[in-house]
Amino acid sequence: MRWTLNNKADAAKIVQLQESIGVDQPIAELLVKRNIETFEDAKAFFRPSLDSLHDPFLMKGMHEATDCILQKRNENRLIMVFGDYDVDGTTSVALMSTYLKSLGFEILSYIPDRYEEGYGVSYKGIDHAKANGIDLIIALDCGIKAIDKIKYAKDLGIDFIVCDHHRPGDNIPDAVAVLDPKQEDCNYPYDELCGCGVGFKLIQALHIKIGKPQKEIYKYLDLVATAIGSDIVPITGENRILAHFGLKLINSRRRPAFKAILEQTKKSELTITDVVFMIGPRINAAGRMKHGLLATELLCENDIEKVKTLAKDIEEFNASRKDTDRTITGEALKLIKENKEEERFTTVVYQPHWHKGVIGIVASRLTETYYRPTLVFTKSGEKLAASARSVKGFDVYDALESSAEFIEQFGGHKYAAGLTLEETNFEKFKSKFEEVVKSSIDPDLLTPEIQFDSELEFSDITPKFIRILKQFAPFGPRNMKPTFVSRNISTTGFVKALGEEGLHLKANLVQNGVVLTSIGFGLGEKKEIMDSKENFDIIYTIEENEWNGTTTVQLNLKDLKKSN
């Protein structure tokens, strides 16, 4: 593990902020590192306000989109709401369908089949719209690259409104409106919204146009927060406001779907991380193992008995997904060893029988093991389909673009993407991708990195410090949970290995007479460092541990090493 300081903060700005908001130096340093440098910045950060949401009409295409939708209401036309099969797509469809129905629209919700239709806008979906006399499709979390498909729809007399957040290609689809803040000529002030976030901006604009109070649409923010967390978009600016208030709604358990999904959890208050690991995988499991429309139905349903049945089905899909993912990961690791590919700069594996619904999860697992850009392929109809994952600091989307001569189509983000290609091009692509990564990646990026915000003394960790630290939430990209380093640590003598085969560590740590408890998941092999009687350094986050009604401060160790 590389321990690296997360960008240096300007000392003068830290002192200035300390004085203007009355906090200790470590807190001021954390804030300056998040570009919070003034009293006003700090107020906006610590007191998120829905009044600070941007005017949706600043987004290119918003006037055209709202005019078109409201015209369809006057004509009493059926509208198709089309979204992808992942969490962002299914929450987007639930959001848009529920909202438009509340305005009196007749809606046909459509999620493509992961196996028959693949990612994004599909010809089958367009044909289904045509067969039902639909002449407007609202596409959410997809569509920015569907040039040919949207042209096909237009030739059939079907218009599109695209609500996407992925990077556009060289051309933009010929739609009534394309809402995507990542378009170069879009001047919207915040371009990191997820697909559901762009959908929310559209319903915000519609609500303004029909002259209704904004507070009526805030009930959908639980869906937006779930998408923000699950799609790993930055939790800054507008996303932070949406996530903050959405999380409050999730914790109120007002939506029957979330109440049913969270029935088993003992946690009274969920964080965004809990949403990502408890709600996200279950919504995703429907699209992976059966059909994404089941997740949308669950999210929209208000009948408690139906919700319980759907939630039970989705729980079973999730259990099946876990088993499948475990099996394929084992097969992939064996394949890498058999082919002696441990020394490559990339991991590219393929088996025709692997389940397409879990190859993204397997790619993430392989990235954790070998820590290099990874692609997991399976057979999908006549083609091969893959999920790509990357390591921190390396843009896998750019690497795919440089290997595009052997790819049929691809899309995604810096750290996660999907692609299809002809089976005859697999080996050529594998070689090209390795060559591109080898020639462009900084070798340091192939060693896992833990970034820390600052060095702390145990004496800095006061009740006031912890109280303020909690207000930095919700955490996520560009506002990660603050991570600290403390040096020259020893133990009270209590050091214990926990779990199967002693995988985890629990210890009472001491620095200058201050004692704090700690837990280190997966750090069992480092027990000897604590047992050696020599001082050591630790890198950690701070959390509160609830046990039998008592709350105590606990350091969550990420790594440790002998002090110099």
Does residue 264 carry a pLDDT above 80?
no
Does residue 268 carry a pLDDT above 80?
no
Mean of per-residue pLDDT scores for the chain: 94
Q: Locate tokens 């800054």: which residue?
A: 236
Alpha-carbon distance of 319 to 300, in angstroms, equals 23
Fold match between domain 56-309 and domain 339-446: no
Please state the rounded mean pLDDT for residues 152-163: 98
- In the three-class reduction of DSSP (H, G, I as helix; E, B as strand; rest coil), residue 412 is classed as strand
Alpha-carbon distance of 147 to 166, in angstroms, equals 14
The DSSP secondary structure of 6-61, one letter per residue, reads --PPPHHHHHHHHHHHT--HHHHHHHHHTT--SHHHHHHHHS--GGGSPPGGGSTT
* Domain locations in the chain as residue ranges: 56-309, 339-446, 450-562
Alpha-carbon distance of 141 to 365, in angstroms, equals 25
Please state the rounded mean pLDDT for residues 364-392: 94
Question: Whole-model pTM above 0.85?
Answer: yes
197 CB neighbour count, 10 Å cutoff? 27
Class of domain 339-446: alpha beta
pLDDT tens-digit readout, 65-97? 999 999 999 898 899 999 999 999 999 999 999
Give the CA angle between residues 38, 42, 44 to the nearest 5°: 115
Please give the pLDDT value at position 116.
Answer: 85
Does residue 151 carry a pLDDT above 80?
yes
Alpha-carbon distance of 225 to 476, in angstroms, equals 12
CATH of domain 56-309: 3.90.1640.30
Please give the pLDDT value at position 482.
Answer: 96
Q: Locate tokens 């941007």: which residue?
A: 54
DSSP state of 144: T
Closest Cα partner for 124 from 87, 82, 88?
Answer: 82
The DSSP secondary structure of 357-394, one letter per residue, reads GGHHHHHHHHHHHH-S-EEEEEEETTEEEEEEE--TT-
Please state the rounded mean pLDDT for residues 478-491: 96
CATH of domain 450-562: 2.40.50.460
Of 51-60, 211-220, 311-320, 423-432, the poorest mean pLDDT is in 311-320
* Radius of gyration from C-alpha coordinates of the chain: 25
pLDDT tens-digit readout, 408-425? 988 878 888 999 999 999
Alpha-carbon distance of 466 to 482, in angstroms, equals 11
